[in-house]
Amino acid sequence: MSEPDDARDGELEDVELEPVEALEELLEEIVDGLGLEVDVEVEERDGVLSGRLEGEDVGLFIGRHGQTIDAVQHLAQRIVFPDGPSSVRVVIDANGYRDRRAEALRGEADDAAEEALSSGKPVELDPLPPFERRIVHEYLRDRGDVETHSEGNEPERYLVVTPMAGDGAA
């Protein structure tokens, strides 16, 4: 009856982890590697697998302009779902960074929309990763007075905000 012991002694690579467990293990390894004192919490709800870090020293994990946390999120999607695109989306957050970033993006979107409306010309935003472009697209769609579309190629793909055709013309 030594087979179960053998499986515990290094053959765990053959055991496929559930997505929640895989993400939790990945995040724990990353924060341990970075030497961070944070709590890691993972949950799956409504087609989103969320990994959250809470603690004092998450700045290193977030990185400059969110580059590190975005890279971890991208890699986590690929590692947790190695067989390709999944209907479940991985979102990594640290101390509410994603909410603060979304609020900042909505502010930039409003500024761009106002500029497009006052000038009557399209306004280009800085390049954004796909999930941040989606936030802006969805936010501005609800306004109803501007349209958005993306241009360029990754990683330099950016959003263009244009006044709605026909607004103010009679």
Q: Encode pLDDT of 113-159 as tens digits.
A: 999 999 999 999 999 988 899 999 999 999 999 999 999 999 899 99
| Alpha-carbon distances, residue 58 vs 31, 45, 55, 68, 93 (angstroms) | 9, 24, 6, 11, 10
Structure tokens at 67: 């580059």
pLDDT of residue 105: 97
Q: How far apart are CA 33 and CA 52, in angstroms?
A: 17
Which residues, in sequence order, are CB contacts of 78 under 8 Å at separation 6+?
none
Contact 79, 90 (CB under 8 A): no
Q: How far apart are CA 120 and CA 113, in angstroms?
A: 10
**Residue 167: pLDDT over 60:** no
Long-range contacts for 63-66 (Cβ within 8 Å, ≥24 apart)? 66/97, 66/101
pLDDT of residue 122: 98
**Residue 169: pLDDT over 60:** no
pLDDT of residue 131: 86
Q: Encode pLDDT of 51-108 as tens digits.
A: 999 998 899 999 998 999 999 999 999 999 999 889 999 999 999 999 999 999 999 9
Q: Encode pLDDT of 3-24 as tens digits.
A: 444 444 444 455 678 999 999 9
**Residue 27: pLDDT over 70:** yes
Q: How far apart are CA 100 and CA 59, in angstroms?
A: 14
pLDDT of residue 14: 52
3-class SS of residue 92: strand
pLDDT of residue 13: 54
